Amino acid sequence: MTFASLGLSDSLLRAIAEQGYDTPSPVQAKAIPLVLAGRDLMAAAQTGTGKTAAFTLPLLQRLDGGQPAARGRCRALVLAPTRELAAQVHENIRNYGRHLRLRSAVVFGGVNINPQISRLRDGVDVLVATPGRLLDLHGQGVVKFDDLEILVFDEADRMLDMGFIHDIRRIVRLIPEQRQTLMFSATFSREIRELSGGYLRDPAQVEVSPANATADTVEQWVYPVDKQRKAALLCHLVNEERWEQVLVFTRTKHGANKLSQQLEKAGIRAAPIHGNKSQNARTRALGDFKSGRIQALVATDIAARGLDIDQLPQVVNFDLPNIAEDYVHRIGRTGRAGASGRAYSLVSADEADFLAGIERLIRKRLPREEIPGFEAEHVVPEGRVSPAGRPRSNGNGNGNGQRRQGAPRGDAAGRPGGEGNGRRRRRGGQGRGAAGPRPAR
């Protein structure tokens, strides 16, 4: 199958080729014809499989050739939960729409609102926005939705999860009922599916991978370690494996700042990125990470839905997320667009319940491996996977106060928990992964 066989215009096909893509990913192959046909759509696919292009390409084609946006109006609205994701989506729209006469803009908080007001006054065909800033602009009379034709929720589950539900309801009340509505996400819980029923009309559904599945291109490990030794273990891994680029996730903003400082003191170039940082600081940190000026970008979950880094070799969960679905999005920052990736989780005994929840969600037992010199004094209980793929507890579920009893067990695939000879297998890690076929983003 080719992009041409999906019914896309010559102008879009030219832009796709200029981006270096030639074959649509499964979600693109299924979603694009449905969007072109005007259907409402709910689509779920693993992160890194090209969901953005799956709605961007047909959206642009549907708008192309129509009446230009009137002053202070927009014809298509894409809602995104984070500034980084909004900026990424807008970049895709600009890249794919470069040969079309369509105007686009992106608006989000944390930056001066005046340039955004100026950009919207003449009207835009496609507006990408975070909910809060969009409502601010509407409240000032800068943008109206009378002519809106298409509404897109990108990372819909996260947006409704992050406390945006009231803002979203306000926005939906402001826009025409007669519209095309698209919901794209990596995961759709039962609650999100039920909630979406109020926004979509007879939607087509596309699900190209099991719900909440992790990509086959990402290898995953759990490294049991006592909480107070996590920073030392991370420094050891960066230096021992010669990692040039690693994205590290913490649970809190304070934790991200503290860990970044610890890495810097150990001689590892690092920077934090989270919601309390100004947009300029976040943009600078991400730019430094992509260019190699820093080795470690320490992020909270706000970054899990918006960072798109070509062939990022590895991700580290310094803290496990307390929402299991966030694990899927975190490790989805690596192994994107056909490249290989690795995900490491540094897990202390008090995180045993979080780990069990993640394994239940992804229906997979994650292999444990202890690093010589960093063996955990308090064991992280090992689960076992039932025939249906659901992990079950194998010990004290809360993991608190359990002492180590002998050597770690091997995993179901025969991988030893520890080398036992003072050495461990090299994972590589300084490379950026071998790229396979690249789905358009």
Which tens digit of pLDDT belongs to each residue from 267-284?
Answer: 999 999 887 887 788 888
Residue 430 reports pLDDT greater than 50: no
User: Whole-angstrom Cα distance, residue 74 to residue 122?
Assistant: 10
Residue 317 reports pLDDT greater than 90: yes
Instruction: Between 278 and 239, name the one with better pLDDT.
Output: 239
User: Whole-angstrom Cα distance, residue 139 to residue 170?
Assistant: 11
The DSSP 8-state label assigned to residue 69 in this structure reads P
Torsion angle defined by CA atoms of residues 190, 338, 308 and 232, in that order, rounded to the nearest 10 degrees: 90
User: Whole-angstrom Cα distance, residue 396 to residue 398?
Assistant: 6
Position 426 confidence tier, pLDDT thresholds 50, 70, 90: very low
User: Whole-angstrom Cα distance, residue 259 to residue 246?
Assistant: 13
Lowest mean pLDDT among 60-74, 295-309, 380-394, 412-426: 412-426
Question: 221 - beta bridge partners?
Answer: 344
pLDDT score of 46: 67
Length of the chain: 441
Residue 259 reports pLDDT greater than 80: yes
The pLDDT tens digits for 408-425 are: 333 333 333 333 333 344
The pLDDT tens digits for 58-104 are: 999 999 988 999 999 999 999 998 888 899 899 999 999 999 999 99
> Does the model's pTM come out above 0.85?
no
pLDDT score of 198: 82
Task: Say how many CA atoms lie within 13 Å of 361 toward its Cβ.
Answer: 21
Q: How far apart are the first and last CA of the chain?
A: 17
Give the mean model confidence (pLDDT) for residues 184-198. Answer: 73
Write phi, then psi, for 288 (nearest 5 degrees). -65, -35
pLDDT score of 386: 43
User: Whole-angstrom Cα distance, residue 129 to residue 81?
Assistant: 8
- Nearest CA to 306 out of 63, 39, 89, 13 is that of 89
- Would you state the structure tokens that stand for residue 282, as one six-digit string? 């976040």
pLDDT score of 437: 43
The amino acid sitting at 373 is G
Beta carbons of 237 and 243 less than 8 angstroms apart: yes
pLDDT score of 424: 41
Name the one residue in this structure whose structure tokens are 């002998």. Answer: 406
Rounded to 10 deg, the angle between the 51-63 and 26-36 helix axes is 20
Position 48 confidence tier, pLDDT thresholds 50, 70, 90: low
How many CB atoms within 10 Å of residue 110? 16
Beta carbons of 66 and 75 less than 8 angstroms apart: yes
Domains in the chain, CATH or no CATH each = 4-207 (3.40.50.300), 218-392 (3.40.50.300)
Say if strands 296-299 and 180-185 run parallel, antiparallel, or are unpaired: unpaired
Lowest mean pLDDT among 101-105, 208-212, 363-367: 208-212
Instruction: Between 62 and 331, name the one with better pLDDT.
Output: 62
Encode burial over 117-137: b for 16+ CB neighbours within 10 A, e otherwise.
Answer: bebbeebbbbbbbbbebbbbb
Q: Which distant-in-sequence residues (6+ apart) come within 8 Å of 114 by Cβ? A: none
Torsion angle defined by CA atoms of residues 287, 324, 41 and 103, in that order, rounded to the nearest 10 degrees: -20
Report percent pLDDT > 90 for the chain: 55
Query: From residue 216, how far is each of 180, 220, 221, 335, 435 by CA, in Å?
Result: 33, 10, 13, 8, 14
Position 212 confidence tier, pLDDT thresholds 50, 70, 90: low
Summary mean pLDDT of the chain: 82
Which helix (H) or strand (E) element contains residue 275?
none
**Residue 292 burial (C-beta neighbours within 10 Å; 0-12, 13-18, 19+):** exposed
Question: 344 - beta bridge partners?
Answer: 221, 316
pLDDT score of 279: 75
- Would you state the structure tokens that stand for residue 289, as one six-digit string? 């990470």
Determine the longest span between alpha carbons in the chain, in angstroms: 72
Beta carbons of 29 and 6 less than 8 angstroms apart: yes
With helix as H, strand as E and coil as C, how does 160-220 read? HHCCCHHHHHHHHHHCCCCCEEEEEECCCCHHHHHHHCCCCCCCEEEECCCCCCCCCCEEE
